[in-house]
Every structure is written in structure tokens, then in C-alpha cells.
Amino acid sequence: MCGIIGYAGHRPAVPVVIEGLRRLEYRGYDSAGVAFSGHGNLHVVRATGKLAALEEKLAHEESVITPTCAMGHTRWATHGAPVERNAHPHCSNDGSLAMVHNGIIENFQELKVELVAKGYTFSSETDTEVLVNLIEERRKNAPDVLHAFAEALREAHGTYAVCLMDRAEPGVIYAARMSAPLIFGLGTGENFVASDIPAFLPFTRKVIFLEDGEIVRLTATTYEVLHLEDLRPKVHEIHTIAWDMQAAQKSGYRHFMLKEIFEQPRVILDGFAGRMHEGDVVLKELDALPVPRRLHIVACGTSYHSGLWGRHLLEHWAHVPVQVEIASEFRYREAVLFDKDDMVLVISQSGETADTLAALRAAKKCGVPVLGLCNVVGSSIAREASAVLYTQAGPEISVASTKAMCSQMLMLALMALYWARRNEGMTLQERRTTLALLAGLPDLLDAALPAMHQRARELSRKYAQTRNFFYLGRGHCYPLALEGALKLKELSYIHAEGYAAGEMKHGPIALIDPSFPTFVLALDDALLPKVVSNMVEVQARQGKVIALTNEGLDMHVEDIWEIPRLPSPLAGFVALPALQLFSYEVADYLGKDVDQPRNLAKSVTVE
Ligand code: M6R
């Protein structure tokens, strides 16, 4: 969702900004633009579509090589269509200020009324153009642009990460954040501000995670972080990023998604790092918290599916009752009835999902401890949670989440084992046996993934033209069915629905005919006989079935896909990449934009 980068330094700034935007492409966008100062003016160049269109336009701008300070933006439309006049940067009426913005200013219509009454005109439908003009207006009575910027932001309600350039200060960038990600990068003789670390990672690993209600003023050699409220200076810890650009590049794979699916064995290994001691799980982050009497898991999309999967383990192994809820529903519940010793677990790869962050804040307001399970270090959710567990999966670039789910599942399994120890839900021997199975997963997956990829490819050729799909599963396979359907629809735009297999006969089965296939998770577990009955019901309506199953089971279906056997629920770690690979292959075969599916953003920072 919208990518921002600002740069002040000693290099030609526009190429730095364009490359930074390219490294933010995974966030999804429909137009892009840059602003830079030169010859006493602010120049803005914008284009719809991909960055190549913007570069094409920049090639005709003669001053692009000279500036050493610039800012850029990739826009994912919220207010107004994805057309050039709505693309960022936006300028104030007198041309003195330019702004890029990620987020939504909720009261922009009211602010606009005031500005229109004062004679301001608008060429876009965006809230950003209102904000930049509000700064121009407030500057008339402010000592300087910094005070005007702060005053305008105090009047704006909503979410934002913004960068501002002033024609009068060619080497300066102002930036601020409120509930949208913004990270400050400190280089040598150059400074950066961006929505995410990869934007500037080739130049510096030193970062400051800006917080809500902060403004930064940066030049090539200086920076100040200030409180928005009263412009008091604020001192921040400087963090050093451990991962490098290699981790954020395709490394020979056709797409980031494929690379990330194949990274899952390594993700499991890394997830274990620092979490084992003397053959048992240690999660120091949880030591200070009581074992919850009841856990409320709150998340969106794939992270929500991880939560549904994790419930089985937490209840079965650790005897912790679990409720799982979608964050956009949880945040608006009129009354969530928490009991003493309840805990909320928010799961988010990005740590920036607006609904999940709002759910976290709502729960904290009720005085309930909130545990965050995040991948992105220093993200908003990670910082605001009472305690955070990092999934340690490395950067996930593809918009479709794959390895993040695997890492979340691992952490949920480790949490269940950890609380099982404290709750005496499992014996040491039982925990060790389970841990040995988990520890064997990387080798098992490394060996199995190439054949699974091949089978996914074969099946994709047969089913790519299908317009509808059901995914069915029971028990721990039900969340995986939901995830399989989500992956297929988001990547290939084929309508797919995930269902609890037992629920089919209560209505959905009416849709079954020979052109409507069903992907069934028919793994070798206690619920298999029930699943087989549901499969037979589908076949009785001439529905074709693909059964994802284990060797040696007697299945009479259209297509069988055998994967290595593991005891339930750990079998999910093998079923998951199969589902991901099938969706990947269908989408790639259909020529879809696998890493950046239409209409989607990696990090959903609006409601
Ligand atoms: O960053 P988060 O885990 O909070 O993101 C949640 C969802 O937006 C995300 O999982 C989304 O559903 C993905 N497109 C799934 O592939």
C-alpha cells in the first residue's frame, strides 16, 4: 500500500528514489511520481502504471541528474481513480510545497471546505492535496514551514506517513507519521526516510523506527526528530538491520512468491533459532506473562488462517481455550467480554495492518495484555504490543503471503508447546517427540518440494481454465482449505471458496456440477473417514475431486496428489506449500502478475 521514499545526500537523488520505489513495488501501486528541487523551483513528474512509465517521462526532464534531494511515491488509489492527476506528489496552490502521503485524512472534506472558501483550487480528488494546501495556508501565520506542517497535521484526523518539500529549502525533507509506517535511515553524508527498509538498504543499515506523532527534519548531514505536539526534540535508539538485500531479491527464481515458497524449510530452521534449550522450548518473551485462561486471536487474511490453525494446537496441547476473530470485526464489537487472565494475540506479517493495529489498541484499552506475532521488526504492532514474538522469516516481498504463514504456524506450535509445559498439558516426552517432528520438517520439505512443484504444475495445466473451485477440509485442515482458496483467488482471479467439509451439504453443494471442481484436503488423520464421505457426496453430483492425500490411501477420485505423511496437525506444514504451489502455477500459466496481483497491497494500512 503506497510506498514513500525521501532522500537528502550527495548522490543524484532521482535515481536513488526510483530504485528505492522499485524495492517498494511489492506493496502494490497503480501510479508513481517524484519531486525534486532545481533552478529555484520544485519539479514534479508523475505517471500512471508501473515505474517504467515514470522513468520514461523523467528521461525527458533535463534537470533530473542534478538534484541531491528528492522524494518519491508509489500510489495505491484510495481517494480518486488511479489517474495522473491523483498521483503523488501533490503541490500547494502557490507551488511552494510538494507532498507525498500514505494513509487517509478522514476529515479532508471539512478541511477542503475551509480552503475552498479562502480561494484554494484543487486539481485532484485526493486528501493529500488538501493537506499540502492546508500547510500553505497555515504558513501565513506560522514562524516557518515546520510549525505550519505541525499545525496542519494536528488538525488532520486519520492516518498518514508524509514527506514534504519546500521550494525555499532545496536540501531539506520533512516527514511525519501517524498509524502508517515510516522509517528513517541514517547514512554517511546522506539520510533517508521510507515506508520500508529495503527502499534504502543498499545504502545504510542504520535505522530509527519513527513513532506516531513524530516529525523529522532531515538534510544530507543532519536530522532532528520532534514531537508533533509541541516540537520538543526526541532522542531515539538507532537500530542496525541484520538482513541484507540478498534476502530481498529473487535469487534466480522466476518470482518472489516461488522463492518464498521454497524458503519455507529455512524459515522453519530460523524460527527455531534461540527458542530451544535442553530439548525443550524457551520463549523468553512470554516468561513474564501468565498462561492465558482464554486467548483471543485477532488477525486478517492469511494471518487469520494461521490463527485458526493454531487454535487446534493451543487447545489440544496447551489446554488454552481459544477464540479466533477477523480484526476488522473485532475492532467494532460493541462489547468484547474479557475475563481476568484473558490475553489477546494479534498476528500480522507486516505489523502494519490497520485493522489489526486498531484491534490491538482496542484490546489494550480494556486492560488486556496483547501479544504480537509479527515478522517485520520494529513495525507498529510489534512496538505497541505488550510483548512481541518475531517470526524471523526475513522479508516477504510477494504480495501473496506464503512463508509468513509457515513461520506463524511454527511460532504457534512453539507457543502451544511452551504453554503446554507451563500448564502441564503435555509430558516432557510428548513435547520432545513433537519437537523432533518439527525439527525434521526442514529436511522433509527440502526433499519434497521439487516433486510437489512438479505435481502442482501438472494439475495447474488441467484446471487453469476452471472458473470456480471449492476447497474443503476438516479440523486442522479447514483453515488450510480457507488459505488454499484465498491463494487461488488472489493470484489467478478464479473464484474459489474454502469450506468446512461437513458444511457443504448445508447449501454450497447445490453449486456442484462437472465444471465446478473441489480440492479436498484428505490427509491421513482421525477425520479422514468423514472427509471421504463428503468427497463422495461431491462426486455423486458429478463434481470432479482433487484429493491432497498421503500415500497408500485408497482414493477413487479424478486426481490424486500424494504428499509425505506426518501426524496431524503437523501435516499442515506439508499441505500448505502444496496449496501455495498449485495457486502459483495456475496464476503463472494464466500469465497473471504473480508477485503483484491486481487490486492488492502487501501491507493494508487503511481500513
Ligand atoms: O501483514 P498481515 O499479516 O497483517 O496481512 C494480513 C493480510 O492482509 C494478508 O495476509 C493478505 O490476506 C495476503 N494478501 C494474503 O496472501
Q: Could you give phi then psi for residue 386, rounded to 5 degrees?
A: -65, -35
Ligand 1 atom nearest the C-alpha of 381 is 4
Cβ 306 under 6 angstroms from ligand 1? no
Residue 563 dihedral angles phi and psi, to the nearest 5°: -125, 160
Q: Which atom of ligand 1 is nearest to the CA of 604?
A: 8
- Alpha-carbon distance of 63 to 79, in angstroms, equals 31
237 in helix, strand or coil?
Answer: coil
Q: Is the pLDDT of residue 115 over 70?
A: yes
The residue whose CA is least distant from atom 11 of ligand 1 is: 301
Neighbours of 157 (CB within 10 A): 14
With the most atoms of ligand 1 within 8 angstroms of its CB, the residue from 76, 260, 302 to mutate is 302
Ligand 1 neighbour 492 (Cβ under 6 A) = no
Mean pLDDT of 570-599: 96
* Helix and strand numbers, DSSP H then E, in the chain: 17, 26
- Residue whose Cα lies nearest atom 8 of ligand 1: it is 301
Rounded to the nearest whole angstrom, what is the distance from the C-alpha of residue 328 to the centroid of ligand 1? 13
CA of 500 relative to ligand 1 center, distance in Å: 21
Q: Where are the beta strands (DSSP E) in 458-581?
A: 468-473, 495-500, 518-522, 545-550, 559-563
Q: Does 302 contact ligand 1 (Cβ within 6 A)?
A: yes
pLDDT band of residue 337 (cuts 50, 70, 90) is: confident
Does residue 401's CB lie within 6 angstroms of at least one atom of ligand 1?
Answer: yes
Q: Kindly give the distance from the C-alpha atom of residue 529 to the centroid of ligand 1, in angstroms, as a whole number.
A: 33
Say which residue, 128 or 249, is predicted with more confidence. Answer: 128
Alpha-carbon distance 350 to 541, whole Å? 42
Q: Is 372 in the pocket of ligand 1 (CB under 6 A)?
A: no
Whether the CB of 381 sits within 6 Å of ligand 1: no
Short-list 524, 259, 494, CA closest to 485: 494
User: Does 376 have pLDDT greater than 90?
Assistant: no
Q: 237 pLDDT exceeds 80?
A: yes
Asked if residue 198 has a cis previous peptide bond (ω within 30° of 0), the answer is no
Q: What would the mean pLDDT of 116-131 be, rounded to a whole number? A: 95
| Ligand 1 close to Cβ of residue 570 (< 6 A) | no
> How deeply is 423 buried, as exposed, middle or buried, from its count of CB atoms within 10 A (0-12, 13-18, 19+)?
middle
Residue with CA nearest ligand 1 atom 14: 400
pLDDT band for position 181 (50/70/90)?
confident
Q: Is the CB of 398 under 6 A from ligand 1?
A: no
Across the range 98-113, mean pLDDT stands at 92
d(CA 271, CA 493): 32
Q: 504 is written with which cell numbers?
A: 457443504
Per-residue pLDDT, 63: 57
pLDDT at 81: 77
User: pLDDT value at position 427?
Assistant: 94
| Residue 106 grid cell | 478522514
What does the pLDDT look like over 483-533, one tens digit per residue? 999 999 999 999 999 999 999 989 999 999 999 999 999 999 999 999 999
3-class SS of residue 173: strand
Structure confidence at residue 78 (pLDDT)? 65
State the distance from the centre of ligand 1 to the C-alpha of 597, rounded, in angstroms.
13
User: Is any ligand 1 atom within 6 A of the Cβ of residue 348?
Assistant: yes
Q: What is the mean pLDDT of residues 125-145?
A: 96
Cβ contact 566:315 at 8 Å = no
Please work out whether the CB of residue 356 comes within 6 Å of at least one atom of ligand 1. yes
Rounded-to-integer distance, Cα 211 and Cα 229, Å = 13
Beta bridge partners of 158: 105
Structure-block grid coordinates of residue 232: 520538543
Residue nearest ligand 1's atom 9 by CA: 301
What pLDDT was estimated at residue 62?
59
pLDDT beyond 60 at 65? no
Give the model's confidence band at 1: pLDDT under 50 very low, under 70 low, under 90 confident, else very high. low
Say whether 234 sits in a helix, a strand or coil. Answer: coil
Tens digit of pLDDT for each residue in 146-175? 999 999 999 999 889 999 999 999 999 999
pLDDT at position 79 over 70:
no
Catalytic residues: 2, 602
CB burial of residue 247 (10 Å; 0-12, 13-18, 19+): middle
* pLDDT bracket for residue 25 (50, 70, 90): confident
Question: What average pLDDT does the segment 321-346 reach?
Answer: 91
- Average confidence (pLDDT) over 362-376: 94
Q: Which of 27, 396, 604 to mutate to test the pocket of ligand 1 (most atoms within 8 A of CB)?
A: 604
In the chain, % of residues over pLDDT 70: 98
Q: Is 399 in the pocket of ligand 1 (CB under 6 A)?
A: yes
Ligand 1 atom having least distance to the Cα of 353? 4
Q: How confident is the model at residue 340 (pLDDT cuts 50, 70, 90)?
A: confident
- Interatomic CA distance for residues 386 and 383, integer angstroms: 8
Which of 160-164, 180-184, 478-482 is least confident? 180-184
Atom of ligand 1 nearest to the CA of 400: 16
Closest atom of ligand 1 to 597 CA is 14
Nearest-CA residue for atom 7 of ligand 1: 301
* Distance of CA 401 from the midpoint of ligand 1 (Å): 6
Say how far apart CA 513 and CA 46 lie, in whole Å. 49
Sign of CA pseudo-dihedral 277, 281, 286, 289: negative
pLDDT digits (tens, 9 = 90+) for 253-299: 999 999 999 999 989 988 888 898 888 999 999 999 999 999 999 99
Query: 53 pLDDT exceeds 90?
Result: yes
Strand-pairing partners, residue 295, are 322, 343
pLDDT of res. 252: 76
CA terminus-to-terminus distance, the chain: 12
Q: How far is the CA of 598 from the centre of ligand 1 (A)?
A: 15
Rounded CA gap, 22 and 40, in Å? 28
| pLDDT per residue as tens digits for the range 531-584 | 999 999 999 999 999 999 999 898 999 999 999 999 989 999 999 999 999 999
Q: How far is the CA of 197 from the centre of ligand 1 (A)?
A: 19
Instruction: Quote the ligand 1 centre to 592 CA distance (angstroms).
Output: 19
Establish whether residue 569 lines the binding site of ligand 1, counting it when its CB lies within 6 angstroms of any ligand atom.
no
Task: Judge whether 297 and 324 are in contact, CB under 8 Å.
Answer: yes
pLDDT higher than 70, residue 338: yes
Kindly state if the Cβ of 350 falls inside 6 Å of ligand 1.
yes
Average pLDDT, the chain: 93
Model pLDDT, residue 394: 82
